[in-house]
Structure 1
């Protein structure tokens, strides 16, 4: 929330959230302070920014005059995001207990689960109230903004679209390339992958995820339909193609 520029940033986990928060803090003049506090930008966001008097005052300013604000939302293709959520959950292990209960078998460091099994698990939970990495991207606050005051930026095209938005909102031009650098991002694999991987029980580590095949290698017609059904609101609200071939 930036009361000086009258901008609200809406973001979702596994949808360029680190990039988005850095971009916003840069315009608020807080980025260097945040990075000095901790290299993990969300540490500053959660433990310093949200507890500050200035942030609370910005929220009150928005509540008092919401029509004066413009909302910026950075979004990600739901097919890509669903796979990214799986990779993150598998690597970090935070869903292992729930996955074991769902699959009725051991899930631990040596016994993993597939992307297809992860999607089946997502079909059993509330995607409006689950772990933030798996939730719908659609935010209830978005419905409060009139057309022309909500600006949606596709993460895949953000390097091209954000400079234009900055001009429109009369924000200074950002050095976007430095915001894209983060120690936790998955780097694209350098090998050419051809295998179908949706049913592989992958043991994902920081090293191994660099060699994972592209997201299309995790989808067949069944998973394409099921992920669309899970995140239909995101597909439709943000205008993403509802099929991988689109």
Structure 2
């Protein structure tokens, strides 16, 4: 239970279910949706200029009854627990792109944002960590946390987000939210990922963000695909993703 309360930053108070997530798995859209549903989105805009992550961590989670209420709900098991998950192939690329533009992350790979990093080296370093990979920064660690399936009622695949959210809104009698209202974020790379080529071993620096980004498929050759299968094996297994399909 400690792993859920510490690592997930659950969104639960004032809502009918407990909602879990990990970074680089659509969490910005997910958090926006939650704050919209519980009537706090205007506060997010007002207090943190629309930064849902800052609002969640420094306002919402600081409420006096947050930790106590969350622990009570987990112990009593009266609320459904949902977790948002993402295709490990796409998340690995997203984590890599996040790393090469983040000085505080790329230094863990013996580099900096000017020297850059290749996707293959990024993955080989993660593989070399073995079980310790679960202790690293959550933006690059696996989504799965040991034993989580004992608590979680339903997994929401990001690739089918709209349908899952519509189902949740119907289940709890919530008003339908237009996806366009919550899907835009400066965190998102997907719209600019249009450059095709062979980027599995290419050293990329922060400068790449000034133009078009490589497509997800461009980062994969036989070796990088196998590395992702090994590193994120539990994500594939528990969340039901096809190891042969990079996109879905």
Determine if the alignment matches structure 1 residue 16 to structure 2 residue 53: no
Task: Output one character per residue of 1:102-125: Cα deviation in whole Å (capped at 9) or x when no partner.
Answer: xxxxx2343111000000111123
Structure 1: runs of 5 or more not aligned:
101-106
Report if the CA contact (8 A) 1:75-1:137 is conserved: yes
Q: 1:87 to 1:108 in 2, by over 3 A?
A: same
Aligned residue in 1 for 2:47: 37
Indicate which of 20, 44, 60 corresponds to 1:49.
60
TM (normalized to structure 2)? 0.85
Q: Structure 2 matches for 1:162-177, cutoff 5 A? A: 162-177=165-180
Give me the CA root mean square deviation: 2.2
Task: Output one character per residue of 1:80-103: Cα deviation in whole Å (capped at 9) or x when no partner.
Answer: 000110100001122333212xxx
Aligned residue in 2 for 1:238: 239
Q: Structure 2 matches for 1:140-159, cutoff 5 A? A: 140=146, 142-145=148-151, 150-159=153-162
Indicate which of 110, 116, 122 corresponds to 2:120.
116
Structure 1 runs, 4 residues or longer, greater than 4 Å off: none
Distance 1:232 1:199 in 2: 22
Distance 2:244 2:46 in 1: 43
Task: Output one character per residue of 1:30-71: Cα deviation in whole Å (capped at 9) or x when no partner.
Answer: 2211221112111111111111123234214314411x1111
Distance 2:205 2:39 in 1: 40
SS of the aligned residue for 1:9 comes to strand
Task: Output one character per residue of 1:219-245: Cα deviation in whole Å (capped at 9) or x when no partner.
Answer: 111111111111111111111111237
Number of aligned residue pairs: 234
Aligned residue in 1 for 2:215: 214
Structure 2: runs of 5 or more not aligned:
1-10
Q: Structure 2 matches for 1:163-202, cutoff 5 A? A: 163-189=166-192, 191=194, 193-202=195-204
Indicate which of 128, 134, 139 corresponds to 1:128.
134
Q: 1:189 to 1:234 in 2, by over 3 A?
A: same
Report if the CA contact (8 A) 1:114-1:202 is conserved: yes
Report if the CA contact (8 A) 1:10-1:139 is conserved: no
Distance 1:81 1:187 in 2: 11
TM (normalized to structure 1)? 0.86
Determine if the alignment matches structure 1 residue 69 to structure 2 residue 79: yes
Distance 1:119 1:64 in 2: 37
